[in-house]
Amino acid sequence: MSKKFSGLTFGRLRNAPEHFLDGDLLAHVSQNGLDAQRRNFIRSSFLGALATATGASALAQNTAAVGDPAILNKQIWATTLGKPVAANPYGIPSKYEAGLVRRESPGLTRVSAASVSFTPLQGLFGMITPSGLHFERHHQGWYEIDPALHRLMINGLVKREMIFTMEDLMRLPSVSRIHFIECGANTGLEWGNVAVPTVQYTHGMISCSEFTGVPLSTLLDLCGVDLKKGKYILAEGADGSGMTRTIPIEAAMDDVLVVWGMNGEMLRPENGYPLRLLVPGAQGVSSVKWLRRIEVGDQPYASKDEAVHYIDLMPNGLHRQYTSIQECKSVITTPSGGQQLLTKGFYNVSGIAWSGRGTIKRVDVSMDGGKNWREARLEGPILTKAITRFNINWDWDGSPAILQSRAIDSTGYVQPPINMLREVRGTRSIYHNNAIQSWKLDANGEVSNVQVG
């Protein structure tokens, strides 16, 4: 059998384990499939040559007179046998989606082990970021840590300093919650002026996932945390950078999670496998990856990533230390910078909004650079410290436009224009730029990144 079908392009056809198809039937099906495939191949080649020779208008006429070749031609996927189950034991996106991948911004960093890769927001839908497209930020490279050798230590101001294995942690009562993680430096390139062309590079250091783990409060309680003396925790990673961040004890006892699950499976290695902290609403660096230690203390730690890096320079020369909360922000993801519209007419303008202080209450969209605004539709579920997708209908008449979105959160905070933030923070603070984003749409259909004043 296997010899008979060798060399067929739809190959790797194997008998089902049950052998419920007899050999003759299988041969018949396969032979017909082959014929259809050959016929179709010849036809497509002919049409392809025709299109090249006569150009768009001829094809359009042809389409109008007879019909759409996509319908009139038999397609290979409808006329031959498809691939078997488990051809990709771990499923991967279609090859037609290959452009939508994490990318570095050229020239942003000089060492790729201490760099960023950005999420392709321009092609994503809904509120969940596919795990393979979650942005990356590593400080000293990443590793695949053997979970059997991973430990979590809790020490400091606790009754009993403890060690947990992955087995211990995963036996505890777990919770699953959807939250965003946004790097504090997201949109940081745009403080002074427009610097990058697309939403992937302006806003692609945000992702939103369903995380599964145990509340940190459960572990701290288990160790007998001293809440009288303990005012802060230090979270530490197991990577070479030994990432350390101080978190106020109120947050630690509130909604901070120690997570292993991300979108229904284990964390990806680049995102902290097998264990990370999740500090909802805080800048990503606080959600320490490859989490190996929590220390309870009575003072902040001023660790390297809160004393040398991740400090915000103010115009008066002071640096703000321990800035953490990611304030209310939104961005239109389609259409967005670097995209090309082909025709006038109807579009569903879509984007994402989020707030580190709570839920999204409203998103307004302007098509005229902020003169007039309309309220967008919010798609559910609307969750605290999570991405909320918004959509708004738009009939584009072909004239130039400037698209903006403006989010309002449950505290009443309104996402500000860039100039309002600059008045307080200047242009050199790098972190926490949550300004309104503007996309200019030209009459030729091309969208570009601009700032308006």
Residue (23 or 412) nearer to another protein, CB:
412
For the bound state, the minimum distance from the C-beta of residue 69 to another protein, rounded and expressed in Å, comes to 9
323: Cβ contacts below 8 Å, ≥ 6 apart: 184, 283, 310, 311, 312, 431, 432
Tell which positions 291-320 bind another protein, by CB under 8 A: 292-293, 295, 297, 299-304, 307-308, 311-320
- Report yes or no: 241 and 188 within 8 Å, Cβ to Cβ: no
Q: Is 88 in the site for another protein (CB under 8 A)?
A: yes
Please choose, out of 3-11, 15-23, 32-40, 400-408, the segment that lies near another protein by the rule CB under 8 A. Answer: 400-408
- For another protein, which stretch binds (CB under 8 A), given 4-12, 19-27, 174-182, 289-297? 289-297
CB of residue 262 vs another protein: minimum separation in angstroms? 19
N residues, the chain = 453
Query: Distance (Å, rounded) from C-alpha 355 to C-alpha 382?
Result: 11
Interactions with another protein, residue window 349-368 (CB under 8 A): 357, 362, 364, 368
Minimum CB distance to another protein smaller for 271 or for 286? 286
| Total residues in contact with another protein, by rule CB under 8 A | 141
Q: What is the largest CA-CA distance in the chain?
A: 84
Residues 4-43 that bind another protein (CB under 8 A): none
- Determine the 3-state secondary structure of 118 from DSSP: strand
Residue 340 near residue 446, CB atoms below 8 Å: yes
Binding to another protein (CB under 8 A): which residues in 48-67?
48, 51, 56-57, 59-60
Segment 318-337, which members bind another protein (CB under 8 A)?
Answer: 318-325, 327, 334-335
Backbone angles phi, psi at 343, to 5 degrees: -140, 165
How many C-beta atoms surround the C-beta of residue 319 within 10 A?
Answer: 13
Q: Give the span between the Cα atoms of 54 and 52, in whole angstroms.
A: 6
Q: Residue 123 or 130: which CB sits closer to another protein? A: 123
Q: Find the binder of another protein among 12, 28, 83, 171 (CB under 8 A).
A: 171
Select from 388, 444, 435, 442 the least CA-distant residue to 416: 435
Name every residue whose Cβ is closer than 8 Å to that of residue 305 and which is 6 or more positions away in sequence. Answer: 139, 243, 244, 245, 285
Q: Which residues, 129 to 168, sit near another protein by CB under 8 A?
A: 139-141, 153-156, 160-164, 168
Q: What tokens were used for 162?
A: 């403890």
From 26-34, 76-84, 109-117, 259-267, span contacting another protein (CB under 8 A): 109-117
Site string for another protein, 239-258 (x = CB under 8 A): -xxx-x---x-xx-------
Beta-strand runs (E) in 166-220: 175-182, 206-215
